[in-house]
A = this chain, B = another copy of it.
C-alpha cells in the first residue's frame, strides 16, 4: 500500500484510474449502480483529493473541514472509491456497496457515513445545500473552509440549481465551487446542451459566477481551475469540465445505454485491465487548520413572549423566533421574501447577521436550511404554508439527510379570506405528516404558538408549525406548557355526548359551537389537538371511550390532515374505531371574508353545531 501526503503529479493518473477501477469493482459486485457516471468525474475528484481538499477523515466533526457534496448522488461509487483512496474505508467495505445493512447505500446518506453531510440522489439539491454551508462559513462560523459541489449536467435542467446560482452570487459566496461533470449523456440519451460548455459557462456568468471551461480529464487544466477557484474573491466559481461518461474504458466510454448499469464480471475484468489493474493507493488529504467557529452555541434563558389580547399565531411565531434569537446564538432564520407576512422579519430586524433573505426561491430556502443544519445551526425557515409545497422534494430529502430543520407555514387554510385558493394551504398538514420522523404543530393562540416555537428549537428531524393569518383570541395562560405529543382538553364534563377535536382556526369555531350546544342543553368535550403529529392517542382514546363520537374539524382538505391523524390513533391498540365525523374543506374555495369562507366550507361553528345535533 502506497501512501502519499500530497500526491506528486505522477500519482494523479494512478489515483484517478484506481477511482475508476473501484467504481467498476463495487458496482459489478453489487450487480447495479452507476460506474460510468463515476468514471467521468474520477480525474476531477483525484485532483481535489490530492491537492485541494482540506479534510481530516479521522475527525469529520472538525468545523473547519472542507465540505464535499456529491450533488450527482448516483456517482456514489466514486465517492466511496474516494473514501477508500483517502484511507477512510477498507476495500472490503467498498465491495459491500448496495448490500442490505452496508453503510454504502445506493446514494450517499449522512450519519451512517460520518463523512457525508447530506443525502443526495434527488438531483439539483447539492448546490442549494452547498449555498447553506457556504453562508455558514462566510457569515456565521467565519471559517475558511471551502464548499465543493460535484454536479451532473443532466441536473442543470432543475430550476433549483438556478435558484442556487442566483443566491450564491447575491451573497458573494467565494468559498463555493461548483464542478460540473459535463459528460454529455443523461439517463436516456444526450442532455439538452450536450457538450456545449460555452452555454453552461455563459449561463453561470450571467448569474454572477466566475466560470471556467476545462477538459475534465486534463490534470493541468483541472489543477489550474481549482487554483483559480480558491484564489477568487467576491464570486463563487463554476467549473465546466468536459468529460466522457465511462472515460477510460472503451466498452462504455461516451456510449449511450450505459447509464446506471453495472458491468458484468467479464466486462469488468476487461475494463480493469484496460485501466491498469486493481490498486490500493492511499492519498491523505491535507488537514484543515484547527480553527474554532465564530459562533459557538449558547443557551441563555428563553424569555417567552406573553399575550393577553387577541393576536395572530403568525406574529407570535415572529416574536418567539426573535426571543429565541436572543437566547441562543446558533438560531438562524430564512424566509422566502414574505418575512413581513410570516413575521420572521422580527428576527431579521433584531439579528440581521443571522437572517438570510432567500427571495422567492423555496427550494433554495430549504436547501440552505439543510446546509446550515449540517453546520450545527438551529435553522427556522418560513413562508406561506401553501408555498412549502414548492419544496416538498427538499423536505423529503432533508428527512433522508437526518437533518433537523424547523419550518413555519403561515396563511394556512380558507380562513385567509380574499386572496383565494392559490394562497390557501389546504394540504400542508398532510404533506408534513408524511415526512419521516416529522413533528407537526398547529397552535390556536399566540401563547401556545410562542411556547411551541421554543420547543421546536430542540426537536430532532423535520418540525413544522402551521400558523394562521387572522388574529385569534388567547385561550391559554402564559405559564401553560405544551409538550410535543400532547393536547389540551378545554371543555369536559361527565355528560359529554361527543367530542370536538380541532386545532388552529377551527378550535375557535369549536369553542363557539360548544357554547351554542351548551345553551341547547348538549354537552360536548373540546380538545385542542395542537400537536397533529405525534397525536395524543391517550386523550383521544379516552374521549372516544367516554363520549363515543369524535367530530374533527379542520381547515384543510379531508385527506391526510387532522382527521386522518385522529383516525391513525385508533389503528394502534386502542380498541375498535370510534365513530368519527370529519368536517373539512370539500369544495374548491374562492374569495370572500374569512367567516364567509369558513361557512362555505362547512367548518364554522354553525356547521359544527348542526353536525353534533344530527349525530346525537
Residue in contact with A576 in the complex, picked from B102, B105, B578, CB distance below 8 Å = B578
Q: A105-B591, A188-B339, A419-B121 are in contact. Are A396 and B400 (CB under 8 A)?
A: no
User: Is A308 engaged at the interface, CB distance under 8 Å to the other chain?
Assistant: no
Assembly CA distance A363 to B578 (angstroms): 41
Verify if A478 is at the interface (C-beta below 8 Å from B).
no
What is the CB-to-nearest-CB distance from A149 to chain B, in angstroms, rounded to a whole number? 16
Say yes or no: B363 contacts A159, CB within 8 Å: yes
Q: Which residues from 390 to 445 on chain A have a C-beta closer than 8 Å to any C-beta of chain B?
A: 390, 392-393, 396-397, 399-400, 402, 417-423, 426-427, 430-431, 433-437
Of B159, B387, B396, the contact of A162 (CB 8 Å cutoff): B159
Q: Which of A364, A389, A568, A596 has the most C-beta atoms of chain B within 10 angstroms of its own C-beta?
A: A389
B418 and A30 contacting across the interface, CB-CB below 8 Å: yes
A35-43, A93-101, A518-526: which lies at the interface = A93-101
Residues of B within 8 A of A557 (CB): 434, 436
In the complex, the answer to whether B73 meets A122 with C-beta atoms within 8 Å is: no
Closest chain B CB from A597 CB (angstroms): 8
CB of B577 within 8 A of CB of A188, answer no
Chain B residues with Cβ below 8 Å from A568 are: 558-559, 563-564, 567, 582
Chain B residues contacting A533 (CB-CB under 8 Å) are: 559
Task: Please encode chain A, from 363 to 407, with 1 for each CB lying within 8 Å of some chain B CB and 0 for all others.
Answer: 110000000000000000000001101101100110110100000
**A582 and B591 within 8 A (CB):** no
Which residue of B112, B340, B421, B436 is within 8 Å of A187 (Cβ)? B340
Known: A418-B98, A430-B433, A590-B101. A106 touches B162 (CB 8 A): no
Give the interface segment out of A55-63, A201-209, A322-330, A501-509: A201-209
Which of the segments A9-17, A150-158, A284-292, A295-303 contacts the partner chain? A150-158
Do the beta carbons of B157 and A166 come within 8 Å of each other?
yes
Please report the C-alpha to C-alpha distance between residue A85 and residue B467 in the assembled complex, in whole angstroms: 39
Q: Does A66 have its Cβ within 8 Å of any Cβ on chain B? A: no
- Closest beta carbon of chain B to A21's beta carbon, Å: 21
A495: interface (CB < 8 Å): no
Nearest B residue to A155 by beta-carbon distance?
B360
Q: Does A192 contact B (CB under 8 A)?
A: yes
Contact of A577 among B341, B390, B434, B570 (CB under 8 A): B570
Minimum Cβ distance to chain B for residue A595 (Å):
10
Q: Which residues of B contact A580 (CB under 8 A)?
A: 570-571, 577
Contact of B389 with A154 in the complex, beta carbons under 8 Å: no
Contact of A163 with B170 at beta-carbon distance under 8 Å, contacts A100-B593, A192-B359, A591-B102 already known: no
A131 contacts partner chain B, Cβ-Cβ < 8 Å = no
Cα A499 to Cα B519 with chains together (Å) = 44
Chain B residues, CB < 8 A from A591: 98-100, 102, 104-106
CB neighbours (8 Å) of A389 from chain B are: 392-393, 396
Residue count of chain A within 8 Å CB distance of chain B: 111
Q: Tell me if A605 counts as interface (CB < 8 A to partner B).
A: no
Contact residues in B for A163 (Cβ distance below 8 Å): 157-159
CA distance in complex: A561, B161 (Å): 31
- State in angstroms the CA–CA spacing of A402 and B588 once bound together: 10
Query: Among B426, B437, B590, which residue has its beta carbon within 8 angstroms of that of A436?
Result: B426
| Cβ-based interface call for A294 (8 A) | no
Bound-state Cα–Cα, A339 to B259, Å: 13
Q: Which of A305-346 contact B (CB under 8 A)?
A: 337-341, 345
A8, CB-defined interface residue at 8 Å: no
Report how far A592 CA is from B161 CA in the complex, Å. Answer: 30
Residue of B nearest to A102 (CB): B591
Do residues B563 and A560 form an inter-chain contact, with CB atoms below 8 A? no
Which of these, B109, B206, B393, B400, contacts A390 with CB under 8 Å? B393
Contact mask for chain A residues 169-210; partner B; CB cutoff 8 A; 1 contact, 0 none: 010000000000000001110011000000100110111100
Q: Determine whether the beta carbon of B170 is less than 8 Å from that of A192.
A: yes
CA of A242 to CA of B525, assembled, Å: 59
Decide: A571 near B582, CB < 8 A? Known: A105-B420, A420-B107: yes
Within A59-95, the residues touching B (CB, 8 Å) are: 73
A33 and B434 contact, CB distance less than 8 A: no
In the assembled complex, A123 has its CB within 8 A of some CB on chain B: yes
Q: Does A236 contact B (CB under 8 A)?
A: no
A28 to chain B, nearest CB (A): 13
Closest chain B residue, CB of each to CB of A123:
B360
User: Is there contact, CB below 8 Å, between B399 and A588?
Assistant: yes
What 0/1 pattern do residues 568 to 586 of A give for CB contact below 8 A with B? 1011000111111110000
> Given the interface contacts A393-B387, A420-B121, does A159 sit within 8 Å of B159 by beta carbon?
yes
The B-contacting residues of A in range 101-127, CB under 8 angstroms, are 101-102, 104-107, 109, 112, 119-124
9 further contact pairs, Cβ within 8 A, besides A98-B591, A100-B600, A533-B559: A101-B592, A102-B591, A105-B590, A106-B591, A123-B360, A186-B359, A392-B392, A397-B422, A437-B588
Chain A residues proximal to chain B, CB less than 8 Å: 30, 32-33, 73, 98-102, 104-107, 109, 112, 119-124, 154-155, 157-163, 166, 170, 186-188, 191-192, 199, 202-203, 205-208, 337-341, 345, 359-361, 363-364, 386-387, 389-390, 392-393, 396-397, 399-400, 402, 417-423, 426-427, 430-431, 433-437, 533, 557-561, 563-565, 567-568, 570-571, 575-582, 588, 590-593, 596-597, 600
Per CB-CB distance, the 7 closest pairs between chain A and chain B, nearest first, are A159-B159, A121-B422, A100-B592, A560-B560, A162-B162, A157-B359, A577-B577
In the assembled complex, 27 residue pairs joining A and B whose CB atoms fall closer than 8 Å, in A order, are A73-B422, A98-B591, A100-B600, A105-B420, A107-B423, A109-B420, A119-B422, A120-B422, A157-B361, A158-B361, A159-B361, A187-B338, A188-B337, A386-B393, A387-B393, A390-B393, A392-B392, A392-B431, A397-B422, A430-B433, A433-B559, A434-B560, A434-B561, A533-B559, A570-B577, A571-B582, A577-B578
